Copies of this chain bind each other. A is one copy, B any other.
Amino acid sequence: MQTDPLSAKFAALADPTRRAILARLALGETTVGELAAPFDMSGPAISKHLKVLQKAGLITRGRAAQWRPCKLEPLALKTVDEWIGEYRRLWEERFDRLEDYIKTIQAKAKTEKKNAGGDEGE
């Protein structure tokens, strides 16, 4: 079955090691050896993760035969960000409603306090 590009990106991100690799590459391009160093993982295991990231378009590999540096492709994450952006207003609206509610109960508490203090001036 063919995977659509957005699903491939989400699937690639669904792994803590792959996300850690992206975090390292956000600092700059590097070799597979250097990428593998902080993980208790075999070279082939890391290569497998890199292939998933590469297939999803999240990283690219250099072409120099010996030194094939990995590079983050941040623009590939932009399409994921755009998908989530469609939902952002939903939790923002929820926070707005919560804020409105807090303001309402604060205003109510103030009015009640004022009324409890007597009807001076009337």
Contacts and interface: CB of A to CB of B under 8 A. Distances in A.
A117 interface: no
Given A10-B14, A26-B90, A91-B75, A81 B83 contact: no
Contacts of A22: 87
Interface string A1-41: 00010111111011110010011001000000000000000
Interface residues of A, number: 30
Interface SS of A by simple majority: helix
A88 interface: yes
Interface of A: 4, 6-11, 13-16, 19, 22-23, 26, 72, 74-75, 77-78, 80-81, 83-84, 86-88, 90-91, 94
